Every structure is written in C-alpha cells, then in structure tokens.
Structure 1
Amino acid sequence: MGAILYPLYTVANLVLATWSISLWQHSHHANILLLMLVVAGMTYDNLIISLGRLINEGVCLKLLNRLRFLLHDLLIPLLVVVAVKLASAAGVVWASQPIVFSGCWTIAFGLIGLGLVTNCKQLELAPITFAGSLRYKPKKSQVPILTILIALLVGVAGFYIWREIQWPWMFVGTLVMFFGNALPTKIFGSLVGSAVDFIFMFALLATQIVLY
C-alpha cells in the first residue's frame, strides 16, 4: 500500500507546490512564499519515502532521511507566522498588534532552534519497513512537542478566523492534521500523517486565497 500511496502523496504535493507558485507569481505575498517552502519540504518528505525501496538501506538513504527531519524542524515553525498574518488579514484584533507579529517570528525561530538542538543531540535513525515502503525513523519514539505546539497555535488562529469571517476550514484542517498525526504509527505508519498534512496545507492555502 505504501508503495502506491507515497508516490500519490508526492504527486499531490507537487500539485500543491505548483498551485502555490502560481499564487506567488500573481501576488508576491510573503505568506505564500512561506507556504511554498513548507509544501516543498512535504514534497521532499514523501518523495524520499517513495524512493526508499529503490535506494535501499544504507548511508545514502539514511542521510536523505536525516534531511527530512532537518527540513521539518526548519520549515514547519514558519506556519506560526503564516497563521498570525492570516488572522490579522481576517480582522482578528489581537493578531493585528505589532507586538504579536514580532512575537510570532520570535516563537517561530525559537521552535526552529528547539527542534535543531533536540535532533542534533538525540536523533538516532534506524531503518523501518512498513506497508511496502522503506524509510528511517528515530530509534526512540518521542512526543512530537514541536508539531503539537504549532498545531495549537495555528488552531487558535484558525478558530478566531472562523469567528471573524465564518470560514472554519483552517481550524478544521488543523484538527484533521492534529488527530491524524496522533494515530499510533505502529498501526498506521506515516500513511495517515502524510494524508492529513496535505489536507492541512490545502486548508491554509485556501484560507490565504479567501483573505487576500
């Protein structure tokens, strides 16, 4: 199943990336650039898992997978900035305060630093085969604190956007992503996580279009 789904996820994310590039060419809005970077990281993530069986277990695949985690730590926190800017565009009063905008960048860089320090010290990877796919994952399972914090922050912004302009989809997309990634990986692997991450990013891009 993974041998089929991960290539499909890769193609779906490429479509999302192409869409975001088209939006960027029309508006040159900073939010779209940040979303493009995150989608590019997601595309790489699914591509490497798709190619795992072809590359085969070894130093090369391990290095490519380590880059997956590095991109996650560098790019995903940028969604905090995206969420605050979207809330501001929706007319949410607290999100329009200059101190909040400065604070969201501070939080984003803080989360990037936290992720990098944690992974540099603790990230030991081991190969795992699941549903016909081969990838590397951390030897020790850890609570995804970074993902949880970002989901909470984006979810709060999405909730206020919903209240302000009756657009629930950013909030709903965040809930779908949060609960999808909370499913046990021993049973579902990252198959569900990759799907809900796509839904999440689609919801953010759709919200961007509605608000700008």
Structure 2
Amino acid sequence: MDFYLYILITLSYIVLLLVGFIKKSGKNIRSLTFFLYLVIAGLIVDNAIIAFGKFIGTGPFLEKLHLLRYWIHAIVTPTLILFCLGVLRKLGKKRFHSIRTIRIMLTFTCVLILIEIMTVVAKIELKPVSEYGILHYVPETEIEGSHLMIICVSVILLVTGFILYRITKWKWMLTGTIIMGIGSALPIEVESTAFTNALELLLMISLVATDLTFSKKENT
C-alpha cells in the first residue's frame, strides 16, 4: 500500500514543481522564494528513493541512495528559511530588505546546515527495514539533536505564516505549518510510513500557494 502512496506523493511533487515554474515563468528568478522549489526537487528524489527501494533490493547501492536522502535533507531543508524571507520581502516592508536581515537569515541557514551535517549525517548508521510494502534504510539508533534543524525551520515557518496572516489575512501558510507540526508531534497510530510525507506534501502545497499568491500581488 505504501508503495502507491509514495508514488502518488512523488507525482504530486512533480506537478507542484511544474505548476510553480510555469506560474513564475518570466518573473524574477533571483527571488529568494525560488529556494522552495529546490526543496520540492529534493522531496521528489526523497520519495522516489523510498518508493522504488524494494525493486533495488537490500545492499550498498540502496544504502547509499538513502544516505543521499539525508544529505539532501541536511543541505536543502534549511533553505526554507530563505524562502520565508523572500515571502516577507514581497510585503514591501523595509526591514525585510535590509542587508543586515539578509545576512542574519543567510548565516542562520548555513549554521543549521553545518549542525545537521556534523551531528546527524556524519554520524548516521543505517539499517534496512521492510514494512508496509516498502524497503528503506533508517537510522540504527536515535541521534541526539537530530530534530534541532527541523524545529528551527518549523518555528521560522510558523512565525512567517503568522506575520502574513496578521498583515494580509492570508492564512494558508500558517495553517499548513500548524497541521504539519501537530501531525508530526502527536503519537498518531497509522499503519503507514507515508503519513509524515503526506503532511509534508500538504505543507509544500500551502507554501507554493503562498509564493504564487504574493508573487502575483507583487506584480500587480
């Protein structure tokens, strides 16, 4: 069952990426919001590797592919912070356009990437697990501090969503972030490994909708 869910999620991300690129065609490609589509590209690779793992089979190649997933996660996910700054800059507020703000957010992003690489990716040991119709590699043990980067990025997404709602009444970024946070934090019993991935998809849909909405307002 999970195989079909991961395929569906992968295809959904491909559609989301294409919609984003088509809608933003001709607009400023230097916008920080383009980091969102880098994250989505990473999620396409991530979900595709999980989906087709059982066809590749247990071995060094599949293990390396899953290690690649963790590298992508470590390097790409923190750039959502830059996406948040890009969205806020579309509000036209001077404080979001200052060099100081850009430097702070860029530094914070780079620090989170380094922390994730040093504390998680560099130490991770993977083992094969077959469940719900998929074969994937997971960490042998829980790594201390492995959730730090996700927590920091989630907080930035939440604060950005709240600012957008407060200023413009746009609620979908805030809603998507809250749903993702609650769904990931609560011990919900679901017979599937794709539950969190489905929540990530909902979050990405809300972020793309946010980007396209405010890009349109910026150009009207």
Q: How big is each residue's C-alpha offset from its partner over 1:104-132, in whole Å with a ceiling of 9 and x where there is no partner?
A: 11111111111111234321111112211
Corresponding residue number in structure 2 for 1:121: 122
AA aligned to 1:151 is S
- CA–CA distance in 2 between the matches of 1:186 and 1:135? 20
- CA–CA distance in 1 between the matches of 2:149 and 2:15? 26
Aligned identity (percent) is: 27
Corresponding residue number in structure 2 for 1:196: 199
CA-based RMSD of the aligned residues comes to: 1.9
Question: Is residue 129–residue 137 contact of structure 2 (8 Å, CA) maintained in 1?
Answer: yes
Question: Is residue 20–residue 35 contact of structure 1 (8 Å, CA) maintained in 2?
Answer: no
Question: Is residue 56–residue 62 contact of structure 2 (8 Å, CA) maintained in 1?
Answer: yes
Q: CA deviation at 1:158?
A: 0.9
Q: CA deviation at 1:92?
A: 5.3
Moved more, 102-111 or 29-38: 29-38
Corresponding residue number in structure 2 for 1:152: 155
- CA–CA distance in 1 between the matches of 2:187 and 2:53? 22
- CA–CA distance in 1 between the matches of 2:104 and 2:19? 29
TM-score, normalised to structure 1's length? 0.92
Are the structure 2 counterparts of residues 140 and 56 from structure 1 closer, same or farther at C-alpha, using a change threshold of 3 Å?
same
**Where in structure 2 are the equivalents of 1:30-45 lying within 5 Å?**
30-45=31-46
- CA–CA distance in 2 between the matches of 1:149 and 1:190? 24
Q: Between Structure 1 and Structure 2, which shows a larger proportion of helix residues?
A: 1
Question: Is residue 24–residue 33 contact of structure 1 (8 Å, CA) maintained in 2?
Answer: no
- CA–CA distance in 1 between the matches of 2:189 and 2:136? 14
Are the structure 2 counterparts of residues 91 and 158 from structure 1 closer, same or farther at C-alpha, using a change threshold of 3 Å?
farther
Q: How big is each residue's C-alpha offset from its partner over 1:119-172, in whole Å with a ceiling of 9 and x where there is no partner?
A: 343211111122111111111124511111100011101101110000011111
Corresponding residue number in structure 1 for 2:166: 163
- CA–CA distance in 1 between the matches of 2:38 and 2:5? 22
- Give structure 2 stretches of 5+ with no counterpart: 216-220
- CA–CA distance in 1 between the matches of 2:11 and 2:211? 22
Corresponding residue number in structure 2 for 1:179: 182
Corresponding residue number in structure 2 for 1:81: 82
TM-score, normalised to structure 2's length? 0.89
Corresponding residue number in structure 2 for 1:46: 47
Q: How big is each residue's C-alpha offset from its partner over 1:83-113, in whole Å with a ceiling of 9 and x where there is no partner?
A: 1221232245653443222211111111111
